[in-house]
Amino acid sequence: MRLRPEQLPAHLEKSLHTAYLVTGDELLLTQECCDQIRRACRTQGIDEREVLEVDRSFDWNQLLAAGNSLSLFAERKLIELRLGTVKMDQKSSAALQEYLQHSDGSNILLVSCGRLDSRSMNAKWVKALDGAGAVIQVWPVERRQLGPWIAQRMQSRGMQADRAAIELLADRVEGNLLAADQEIEKLRVLVGERPIDADIVASAVASSARYDVFKLIDAALAGNAGHALTMLNYLSAEGGEEIPMLGALCRELRTLYQCATAIEQGNGIERVLDNARVWDKRKALYKQCLQRHSSQALGNLLQLSARIDPALKGQSGENGKLLLTEMVAMLAGRPFLPN
């Protein structure tokens, strides 16, 4: 069974399955999903919990032993298997499948891990968990979804905020849901039941935006030049090194150039993107960018990158930061320097 995070509470009210997989990189939301499963276990009288932290030296016989061991204090227990970022191999996959095959349903297994790609989601161990219980994929909250997410979060705590306040808070904490939740709780304590406006948010909330070069690239691919340049300025002000940022941009540009060349040779865009191993979630961004840029335009950007590198290193008389800014703006389709 596949469940979205928002479907989990209703599911747990009706039934408690013997196995759950919670996967995703958004720490706050994955923690909350796991907490909901733990509470459901306690409601069912399952108070004992055994936690298994998996690392490279983990002995998978521990999982089988946990499932077979009897407790002196309870008939059932919750077994938490925390994979973190450890990759499942054939041996670990077999051990997990063996556990599920021999489980009599008395214990509950909660497996948590980071985001799984599409290939991993089709692995045998994931399908085994899917068949025995439920798989919950947690996706990051995109910027356009962040305002409604904050509004719903505030409403659930009895708070009132106008649209300007919500948007300002979203700007201050962009990409960092843990910070957003903490700031909402701080506002609840400071303001109480009074309506919240933008001035209150501006004075009470610190800037906790979680920017990185990959979000910068995605904004540029989407044609959102203003947002991309804001992130570039933020990263530079925070001490982000321009050379690694340039390297990440160049890697993306090379992939885009190869895709544009293949499409202009008559290949279908879906096949081209698959061959370039573009993730499904990023295909829409690539399509937007490839509609704006020909292979020649992308080649010009790569040539520009060859000027930026020595400029940033002080090996030429050009302004490297200005050229990097222009490169991002051009990728987003909004150049500002004269040809």
String of b and e for 252-262 (b: at least 16 CB within 10 Å)?
bbebbbebbbb
Tokens found for residue 329: 């703006």
Q: How confident is the model at residue 295, as a pLDDT?
A: 94
Instruction: Supply the pLDDT for residue 278.
Output: 83
pLDDT confidence of residue 69 = 66
pLDDT value for 66? 82
Please give the Cα distance from 236 to 244 (Å, whole number): 12
Distance, CA of 109 to CA of 131 (rounded, Å): 13
CA dist 87 and 144 (Å) reads 32
For 120-137, what is the mean pLDDT?
92
Pairwise CA distance, residues 279 & 122, whole Å: 15
> Global pTM?
0.62
**Rounded CA separation 304/307 (Å):** 5
* Structure token pair of residue 87: 């990759």
- What is the rounded average pLDDT for all residues in the chain? 87
Instruction: List domains and CATH numbers for the chain.
Output: 2-137 (3.40.50.300), 143-204 (1.10.8.60), 213-331 (1.20.272.10)
> Does pLDDT of 114 surpass 80?
yes
Q: Which pLDDT does position 305 carry in this prediction?
A: 92
Residues 196, 159 contacting (CB under 8 angstroms) = yes
pLDDT tens-digit map of 227-280: 899 888 888 876 667 888 888 899 899 999 999 999 999 999 999 998 888 877
Q: Is the pLDDT of residue 71 over 60?
A: no
The pLDDT value recorded for residue 72 is: 52
Evaluate if residue 198 carries a pLDDT over 60.
yes
Q: Would you say residue 292 has pLDDT above 90?
A: yes
> What pLDDT score was predicted for residue 220?
93
Least confident stretch, 45-49, 101-105, 316-320: 101-105
